[in-house]
Chain A
Amino acid sequence: VSPTLAVQFTSVVLPSHEAVVQPLSLQVSYGSVCVIQAPAVVCGQVLRLCTGLLPPDAGRVEVLGEEPSILPRSALQCLRRSLGVALQPGGLVSNLTLKMNLVVPLLYSGAAELSEAAARAEAMLARFGLEAWSEARPSAVPADVRAQTVVARALIGEPKLLLLDDPLNGLQMSQAETVLGLLHHTGRTLVITTPQASPALDSITDRTEIWSPQSVPTPRYNEVGTN
């Protein structure tokens, strides 16, 4: 049986176009929970490689038996619809309510009609205890509510593989426990990247991979352009 996720690369390119060189070889089997501990600036890039948002510099990434970097656009979209992805920053659409943020992926993947999608979104928010915020826009809710909604959005499509970038960031202990409980309860393959070890995370983890490159470029402020 092929692994749900197989990653083998030697470097990751940062948004600043600088490369962080350090080999990573990883195979995640179906139903297991894997944590990749890496510098914060690299965490999201590893998941971007897995979703085909970033092509691998060298090496190979295989997700659910497919190589995202060589798939045509339509096939890549199909693959992504079977994933639950939460990147940093959360990327909730600012002019939609929290409920509609969960509805949109269901509608555009063809998974449900509007009424069914809305009911599923409300049920999912209720599982996180966020039903009171369902009609609020992201800018009107606290950061921890936004962070939980991002995870709820990743879960809403019942994905085969969940790829979450630091999902406990900014959550209180009780909220982190709720989120981890829900993630563990799904029984799905789960890959989490995080910059720091967490005892709460360890409780559900089958395997922790520490990816520590020798040197990571310091994030720089972008040059301010003249308008």
Chain B
Amino acid sequence: VVLEFVASSGRAVTGRAGRVAGWYGNRIRFVGAVVVAALRYQPTARPLLARQLINQLRFTAVQALPFLGLIGGLIGVTVVVQAYAAALFGMSDLLGRVLVAVVVRELGPILTAIVVIGRSGTAISAELATNGALGETEALEAMGVDPLQYFVIPRIVGGGISVALLTVYFVGIALLSGGALVWMLGQMVPAVYLESLRLALSTSDVWVMLLKGVVFGLGVVTLCSYEGLTGGRTATDVPQCVTRGVVASLAFVFLVSVVFSVALYM
């Protein structure tokens, strides 16, 4: 009985490990195929690529500005309120360091990526799965048009640029709203607040924030595109593709964020 239990447990572990390896393997192969497709663009397709890229930037970046601005403002206020509660206002240099550590290094890129997952990642998964269910992807493939070139690459590039720019916007709004609250509370004049941020913020913080934005954007759109492109056979597949895309993207964002933090700040 014990041997049987050990054998069945071993089979279960092996089976699960195989599925996990397959999960990662499929996505890594997808990334490889995207890179190869990107190197094989016909020059004649570039005007259309540029048009799709602009559309993607408009949808992912420009249309997200109001909502992201609201979230950024609220986060800035929340962090400053917590700093106030922790009696950090007397130590002006500490307030700047807290804001940089929390907003610039961590929350800014993560919350921006989460908003992009909610707005654009879901839309990309749903649209690509619908393209598949309606036979559009197959029709393009049958004509020799690579669906990765037509559907996926403009979205991935647009996602990377958008999340990087939106992160800067989010952090800017958060720091401004935090500064406004500090000033309204009469705890600190703007010049002191700005000076504390200037002392706390290094050039590397800005570069890492931008890099995180690019990595999050590329990763989120790639994962959502993979789920949409490979999962859509019928209409009932569409919501499942969206769910899988969101879960994979969230896991990716938090995992990469931890890797960045451990690698850079420990």
Query: For chain B, which range describes its interface: under 10, 10 to 19, 20 to 34, or 35 or more residues?
Result: 20 to 34
A78/B144 contact (C-beta < 8 A), A108-B42, A108-B149, A227-B243 known:
yes
Q: Does B28 contact A (CB under 8 A)?
A: no
A94/B144 contact (C-beta < 8 A), A74-B40, A104-B48, A110-B44 known:
no
Q: Does B91 contact A (CB under 8 A)?
A: no
Query: Of A2-10, A30-38, A85-93, A196-204, which stretch is located at the interface?
Result: A85-93
Q: Does A167 contact B (CB under 8 A)?
A: no
Name the residue of chain A whose CB is nearest to the CB of B137.
Answer: A91
Q: Are A105 and B144 in contact (CB under 8 A)?
A: yes
Q: Are B143 and A153 in contact (CB under 8 A)?
A: yes
Query: Of A111-119, A172-180, A181-189, A208-216, which stretch is located at the interface?
Result: A111-119
Q: Are A107 and B136 in contact (CB under 8 A)?
A: no
The distance from the CB of A131 to the nearest CB of chain B, in whole angstroms, is 22
Q: Are A110 and B42 in contact (CB under 8 A)?
A: yes
- Note all chain A residues with C-beta closer than 8 A to B143: 80-81, 83-85, 105, 109, 153-154, 157
- Note all chain A residues with C-beta closer than 8 A to B43: 110
Q: Does A222 contact B (CB under 8 A)?
A: yes
Q: Are A114 and B47 in contact (CB under 8 A)?
A: yes
Q: Does B131 contact A (CB under 8 A)?
A: yes
Q: How far is the CA of A85 from the CA of B145 in the complex (A)?
A: 12
Name the residue of chain A whose CB is nearest to the CB of B143.
Answer: A105
The distance from the CB of A192 to the nearest CB of chain B, in whole angstroms, is 15
Q: Are B140 and A93 in contact (CB under 8 A)?
A: yes
Q: Does B261 contact A (CB under 8 A)?
A: no
Query: Of B1-9, B211-219, B232-240, which stretch is located at the interface?
Result: B232-240
- Note all chain A residues with C-beta closer than 8 A to B195: none
Query: For chain A, which range describes its interface: under 10, 10 to 19, 20 to 34, or 35 or more residues?
Result: 35 or more
The distance from the CB of B124 to the nearest CB of chain A, in whole angstroms, is 13
- Note all chain A residues with C-beta closer than 8 A to B142: 48, 51, 53, 80, 83, 85, 87
- Note all chain B residues with C-beta closer than 8 A to A222: 233-234, 236
Q: Does A224 contact B (CB under 8 A)?
A: yes
Q: Are A107 and B42 in contact (CB under 8 A)?
A: yes
Q: Are A109 and B47 in contact (CB under 8 A)?
A: no
- Note all chain A residues with C-beta closer than 8 A to B243: 227
Q: How far is the CA of A85 from the CA of B135 in the complex (A)?
A: 13
- Note all chain B residues with C-beta closer than 8 A to A84: 143
Q: A104-B145, A107-B45 are in contact. List 7 more A-B contacts (CB 8 A).
A: A78-B144, A80-B144, A94-B130, A108-B146, A109-B143, A112-B44, A154-B143
A-B CB contact pairs (8 Å), 20 listed: A53-B138, A83-B142, A83-B144, A84-B143, A87-B139, A87-B142, A91-B139, A93-B140, A94-B131, A104-B48, A105-B140, A105-B144, A106-B44, A107-B42, A107-B48, A109-B144, A110-B42, A112-B44, A153-B143, A225-B237
- In the complex, the 10 A-B pairs of residues with the closest C-beta atoms, listed nearest first: A91-B139, A81-B144, A80-B144, A91-B135, A110-B42, A85-B142, A227-B239, A108-B145, A105-B143, A89-B135
